[in-house]
Structure 1
Amino acid sequence: MILTGGQVHDSQVAQPLISQLKIAGVNVIADKAYGSEAFRQYLEAEEGTYTIPPKSNAKEKWPVDYYVYRERHLIENFFNQLKNFWRIATRYDKLAHVYLERVYLAAILIRLK
């Protein structure tokens, strides 16, 4: 997990985050914000596949298996459950490492349910 400032979009840290994992043979499911050509080429270079729909204004369209894409809701549900922990949703912690520890603890509690 990479903790960033509130002004940083998730897609800007997607490649550094994914580079920590072995994605060969793995299908990465993401929303349209992650559909940049550089990110898709990185996934292909690492021998991974992707299910990312193109933006409506994309110059080149690529095929998407929307049946697989429907599984993305599992991650969205997980982050919605994280937001039920009020200290995480409101970010009361001043120190980043304390906040990250609370996120880890909340994630563990969610998985233990």
Structure 2
Amino acid sequence: MGRKRGTQSQAIGRSRGGITTKVLALTDAVGNMIDFRLLPGQAHDLREVPALIERLMGGSLLADRAFDADWLRQDLADKNITAVNPPKSNRRFPSTFDKHIYKWRQLVENFFGKLKENRGIAMRSCKTDQSFKVFISIAAVIVQTK
């Protein structure tokens, strides 16, 4: 048996918008990328979160509704990190969050906007994950130095 070939090993998957790749990024307080992971389009965002937050230290983690999971909140609480994300609409007992701090999440959205100004990243023009990761890393450095 040889290695797997094709899109299964290249973080390319099918979602509503077609064949896509998700970029899951961890940024610092001012919106500069610290680390990132690639996911196939159909994968849930929480799948790669444990790898991103294993060495995380800080006061708060700002995220959107997709990251509202009990195990993630507990893991962050064990590390003395405050989870600042709105609860999912289907939660029976919704958790509270600081709406004033949550407004700073726009820095992460701005980072992704700047990253996607590069057409090669927005269109996923690289064939392999390795080259796409390098392309994202170079673009992130360029965004940070501007």
TM-score (norm 2): 0.71
Aligned residues: 111
Match for 2:141 among 96, 108, 113?
A: 108
Spell out the pairing of 1:19-38 with structure 2 (5 A cutoff).
19=54, 21-23=55-57, 25-38=58-71
**Structure 1 residue 85 displacement after superposition:** 0.4
**How well do the aligned residues superpose, as a CA RMSD in angstroms?**
1.3
Spell out the pairing of 1:20-99 with structure 2 (5 A cutoff).
21-23=55-57, 25-99=58-132
Q: What SS does the aligned partner of 2:39 have? A: coil
5+ residue gaps, structure 2: 1-35
Letter in 1 for 2:124: R
Larger helix share, 1 or 2: 1
**Structure 1 residue 26 displacement after superposition:** 2.0
2:50 aligned partner = 15
Percent identical pairs in the alignment equals 33
**Structure 1 stretches of 4+ moved >3 Å:** none
TM-score (norm 1): 0.90
Cα distance in 1 for residues equivalent to 2:88 and 2:60:
19
* Segment of structure 1 superposing worse, 69-78 or 25-34: 25-34
Letter in 2 for 1:55: K
Q: What SS does the aligned partner of 1:4 have? A: strand
